[in-house]
Amino acid sequence: MRIQTFAKLTPLQWISFFHAIRFIVYIQIMRHFKSLAKLPPQSMKQKYAKTADLKKLKTINWCLKSIQKHWKPEPSCLVICLTGSHLLNYYKQEFDIHIGIAKDPGLHAHAWLEAYGYAIWGENDNRSFTPITLL
């Protein structure tokens, strides 16, 4: 990300980007030590907003795309979904993590994130993946 672009971020984008980077670093460290079981629980029940805050959802989408584009090595779709779920949980927005397998021959898996019916990250393009679980 260019410094000029980074300097123009809104406070909401700064906070979201900081939380996303912090969480993805945490995930990468835990993956290195093979202890993903120690991730903070994302499924703790809390009071979620009854309606979607589109500004926050767009900011989270921007954060996830920026991380995917600039983080090296590129994080997997599941890591990006976990990071997005952390941000959505932080902003008290309901979300679903979908995991699916490819309909075509071969073994391909994909994770995508939805909130209030909106695809936040990793859309299931052309419905080419059959959902096998919902987190």
Model pLDDT, residue 124: 64
User: What are the extents of the domains in the chain?
Assistant: 3-134
Walk along the chain (135 residues) in steps of 10 and give the mean pLDDT of each run: 70 83 76 54 58 86 86 84 88 88 81 87 72 78
Q: What is the pLDDT of residue 46?
A: 56
Q: Where are the beta strands (DSSP E) in 45-128?
A: 96-102, 109-115, 118-121
Q: Is the peptide bond before 40 cis (omega within 30 degrees of 0)?
A: no
Predicted pLDDT at 72: 79
- Please tell me the distance from the alpha carbon of residue 21 to that of residue 128, in angstroms, as a whole number: 30
pTM of the model: 0.70
pLDDT at 12: 85
pLDDT at residue 125 in the model: 61
The answer for residues whose C-beta is within 8 angstroms of residue 109's C-beta and 6 or more apart is: 99, 100, 101, 102, 129
Do 83 and 124 touch, CB atoms closer than 8 A?
A: no
